[in-house]
Amino acid sequence: MRRILVTNDDGIRAEGLDVLVKWARDFGEVTVVAPKTEQSGKSHSIEIRKSYEVRRVLRFGQIETYSVDSTPADCVRIAILGLKKKFDLVVAGVNNGPNVGGDIYYSGTVAACHEAALLGVRSIAFSTMFNAFDSARRNLDNVFYEINRRKLFDYAEIVNVNFPEQGDRILFTRVGPAIYTDEFKFYPGDMVEPRLVCLFRPEVTLRNYELDTEALMSGFITVTPLLSDMSDLDAWDRAKKMRFED
């Protein structure tokens, strides 16, 4: 039986976490370790300067569940390094909002999966268009089946999945451009309010379905393999072939 860790970045009370836990318990022995409060946009940050609360909570019946007053990456670290549990799979989400394109760098959901990969565990990040949890409920089984049928984890550490508002067709994609840009509203004094502005309208039909951004906005479920190794292998290969000059 698979040992599955479930986490998220929307917090221990999030609807998407309910969806993922109910789905995951049909595939193995589930442990839940999730942030106490919302941690969206916290990326791969961890707490190294102060102590924080880790509390056993009653949230999913008999499923062992912990609330962590820190980031999604710390939730994974607590589960594997702190509680010294072993897992065969880490799943994160279902995030309320897409994590595609350049925005995956800011995602706490995806960062939890990167942390899992660094600790030697395969992982899947699940996200959906805002409040489109019915799409996730309807398609989680099909996506997981395709990931296993194609033996994706034989050569991928992290899989990033995004569900559209409508549409059940699955496409395997690569990372596209960001779908948001940043805007800042300045106030008198020292205050500034950050805002995200969507660059694509969901009703626009785009054409390059190899890109996760365009495929998702066109109504496809996107499945994108990601790397934890940040090396630029092409640059490294080119550089190592050149001799150092005296």
Instruction: Note the pLDDT of residue 77.
Output: 96
Q: What is the pLDDT along the chain (246 residues), one digit of tens a residue?
A: 799 999 999 999 999 999 999 999 999 999 999 999 988 888 888 888 999 999 999 999 999 999 999 999 999 999 999 999 999 999 998 999 999 998 899 899 999 999 999 999 999 999 999 999 999 999 999 999 999 999 999 989 999 999 999 899 999 999 987 777 777 788 888 888 777 666 655 444 456 788 998 899 889 999 999 988 888 788 888 887 776 654
Residue with tokens 């500034």: 192
User: Domain spanning 2-178+205-240 has what CATH number?
Assistant: 3.40.1210.10
Instruction: Note the pLDDT of residue 170.
Output: 96
Which residue stretches of 92-205 are H helix? 108-118, 133-149
Beta strands in 64-157 (DSSP E): 64-68, 89-96, 123-128
Instruction: Note the pLDDT of residue 34.
Output: 97
Instruction: Note the pLDDT of residue 246.
Output: 44
- Sequence spans of domains, the chain: 2-178+205-240
Distance CA 77, CA 42 (A): 15
Residue 38 contacts residue 67 (beta carbons within 8 Å) = no
Q: Which of 148, 17, 14 lies closest to 89, judged by CA? A: 148
